[in-house]
Chain A
Amino acid sequence: MTTKPTPESRAPGVVFILKKALISAFVALVLFSLMIGIRTEAGPTGQLIYWTRFGELASLVAIVFGGSIVVELLRQWWGLADKVRVVPPAVQAGLSVAGRLVAPALLIFALLVPVIFYHQRYLLDLGILVLTYVMLGWGLNVVVGLAGLLDLGYVAFYAVGAYSFALLSTNFGLSFWICLPLAGILAACWGVMLGFPVLRLRGDYLAIVTLAFGEIIRLVIINWQSLTGGPNGVSGIPKPTLFGIPLTPGDDGLAARLGIPFSPTHRIVFLFYLILALALLTNWVTIRLRRLPIGRAWEALREDEVACRALGINTTTTKLTAFATGAMFGGFAGAFFATRQGFISPESFTFQESALVLAIVVLGGMGSQLGVALAALTMIGGFELFRGLEQYRMLVFGIAMVLLMIWRPRGLIGHRAPTIFLKQSQAISSDLVKEGHG
């Protein structure tokens, strides 16, 4: 509901807004003066040259000026967001109806994507990409969303899974269906090894240590050329088979056996359903575990670690299981990634990936399976819009992360569903749910 400000009440507002805008514009001017106003480049002789871009500087400053005015006006009209502690019953009922519908609807849609978009290779590929990140998000959700452990190095498990799969299949010729679980197990082992020494660290320290581990893995992969091929990566990773039946054009291929004409799209469709199955497995296991003592212990750990210890819960093993489970799913996703691409290199396993998956989990509303799926869809879909503008993409991603934290730090889904109830499952507002201290 907006009220038109009266001329009297607007007057001091105008001065205030203008002053703020001027300050913002001045700050922008100083900040951008050299970085935007001057453009340096290595010249033809190797000498550093530069040219000026005062026009662009002026327009940027003007945008900041105008933007500042707009933001202030919006702030005055909208006011502060309401913080309701208990979700009111009417909203709750609406949400739960919507919630109950959204998830199955999405599932049905996902199952039908290859059918609907059969001839749009690009969209099928996008679908596979989205589902890969949904799975990664669900995997990290166990660590960050349920157990409240700040993990900034999730990409390490992704990498371990991918490289394990790649090396096992190319060196030992093991089939996809054997390498996949092995990759998951190896990733889980790595999770335990990594977790054991560091899990007693709290909050920010745990975050930065996991970040360091992620980077160490990447650097080791790059430098241990004899094992991993270094920057050249591992290629020739075999494609997955349908239980031994390859999806090739030849006579022993699946198409020939089914008596239908071969099309390269078959493999894409197969990959799509494969990642969908893996993601759904992740989802099912997570939901089951939430209702079992281990899952409850994870959530209790997030709520209050000291109270857990006072109840006789071994918080170290609880954290380790969360870490190992999340790592295992990351490993599966990595294995899938390897077989889908046929080729992997260290460039795919940077810190940016960890940050992206973490952003998906936080945007989704930590702990909420549906939220994570929606967040992955939004972010990866959004990323695709920026295809070709790599630098702008990351810039917008960074800005989006900042804005997200300021505006909605608890994510899209604003509540937590209890895992057990006597009479009625009542959604608990996110304001009450702790986010964990690591």
Chain B
Amino acid sequence: MDYFAQQVINGLVLGSIYGLIAIGYTMVYGIVGMINFAHGDIFMIGGFIALISFLVLVSLGLTAIPVVLLIVLLVSMAITALYGWTVERIAYRPLRHSFRLAPMLSAIGMSFVLSNFSQVAQGARVKPVPPIITGGYTLMESNGFAVRLSNVQIIVVLTTVVLLAIFTWLVSRTRLGRDMRACEQDQTMAALLGVDVDRTISMTFVIGAALAAVAGMMYLLYYGLVDFFMGFVAGIKAFTAAVLGGIGSLPGAMLGGLAIGLIETLWSAYFSVEYKDVAAFSILIIVLIFLPTGLLGRPEVEKV
């Protein structure tokens, strides 16, 4: 029972990270109807930026961990958001009215560019970091097995909750959020009513990238390393989360993320670690076949 509880905790923490990435997928799909294949690599870039900024700050003598973390968070959010903006401007905007296949292939190309750019820029070897945040709490103990909630895990979940709150406020209360929802429904009409569609779409990508950056930083804190191809697998899993929650639904994305995190962790713990990715990918297929609108999504009727 304790083992199970520990896995649940671990799964929820992992799931928060997936959820943050999934929000980016679902927002972009909702507003421009495309799967941003490069989003997973944006997550990876966010992790890298966090790594590098952390390294620089520490070597410059800053030792107050909360201050360092906050600066790293802001820096990686800002720079990664700029990456997201640039990708949209260069690779997607020119193709907005083009054929269906074009933005998708462009996104795949961009994905290769980002992952190989990182590899070229930083060398192909994995970069490990010593644990930055240590310690934690023992929740319960029995039969020699202790259920631990580490400080890192608390930070990950807290950060996720805070960001989710900010983000929900953004989408439901601000002008930008309204514009995003309008563009999701009918771009032409929104434009006619004075919404700056280009800017709104750009901001969607920017916000998605910023959240992915946070996810990247959390991943770094939690696992202690970043590698170039983590974007690919994490991207598919996060997309699975977005679909599971119902594509286009923001609470759905987070819900889906938690679900995928739980499933992956429990599967690794009780069945087999080698096939955990297979499990996640299979969920994608199963969901799309049997429940294409996901848990919280709206059913689509084909207009003939």
Chain A residues proximal to chain B, CB less than 8 Å:
27, 30-36, 38-42, 46-48, 50, 150, 152, 197-198, 201, 203-205, 207-209, 211-213, 215-216, 219-220, 222-223, 306, 351-352, 355, 358-359, 362, 391-392, 394-395, 397-402, 404-406, 409-410, 435-437
Q: Which of A223, A392, A402, A409 contacts B90 (CB 8 A)?
A: A402
Contacts of A50 in B (CB 8 A): 52, 55-56, 59
Q: How far is the CA of A351 from the CA of B130 in the complex (A)?
A: 32
Q: Is B91's CB within 8 Å of the partner chain A?
A: yes
Contact B86 A31 (CB under 8 A): yes
Contact B285 A409 (CB under 8 A): no
Chain B, interface residues (CB within 8 Å), range = 35 or more
Q: How far is the CA of A398 from the CA of B107 in the complex (A)?
A: 9
Q: How far is the CA of A42 from the CA of B124 in the complex (A)?
A: 11
Contact A33 B79 (CB under 8 A): yes
Contacts of A32 in B (CB 8 A): 121
Q: Which of B48, B116, B275 contacts A394 (CB 8 A)?
A: B116
**A27-B82, A398-B116 are contacts. A201–B292 as well, Cβ < 8 Å?**
yes
Contact B102 A46 (CB under 8 A): no
Contact A219 B284 (CB under 8 A): no
Contacts of A220 in B (CB 8 A): 275, 278
Contact B281 A38 (CB under 8 A): no
Contact B106 A405 (CB under 8 A): yes
Q: How far is the CA of A80 from the CA of B106 in the complex (A)?
A: 20
Q: Is B6's CB within 8 Å of the partner chain A?
A: no
Contacts of A31 in B (CB 8 A): 79, 82-83, 86
Q: Is B103's CB within 8 Å of the partner chain A?
A: yes
Q: How far is the CA of A352 from the CA of B112 in the complex (A)?
A: 9
Nearest CB to that of A230 among chain B residues?
Answer: B274
A selection of 17 A-B contacts at a CB cut-off of 8 Å is A31-B86, A34-B52, A36-B121, A42-B126, A47-B130, A150-B101, A208-B284, A219-B278, A223-B278, A397-B109, A399-B113, A401-B106, A405-B91, A409-B95, A409-B99, A409-B101, A436-B101
Contact A402 B101 (CB under 8 A): no
**A35-B48, A50-B55, A391-B119 are contacts. A205–B278 as well, Cβ < 8 Å?**
no
Contact B289 A198 (CB under 8 A): yes
Q: Which of A35, A205, A219 contacts B121 (CB 8 A)?
A: A35
Chain A nearest Cβ from B65, distance in angstroms: 17
- Which B94-125 residues sit within 8 Å CB-CB of chain A? 94-95, 98-106, 108-125
Q: Is B301's CB within 8 Å of the partner chain A?
A: no
Q: Is B277's CB within 8 Å of the partner chain A?
A: yes
Contact B82 A30 (CB under 8 A): yes
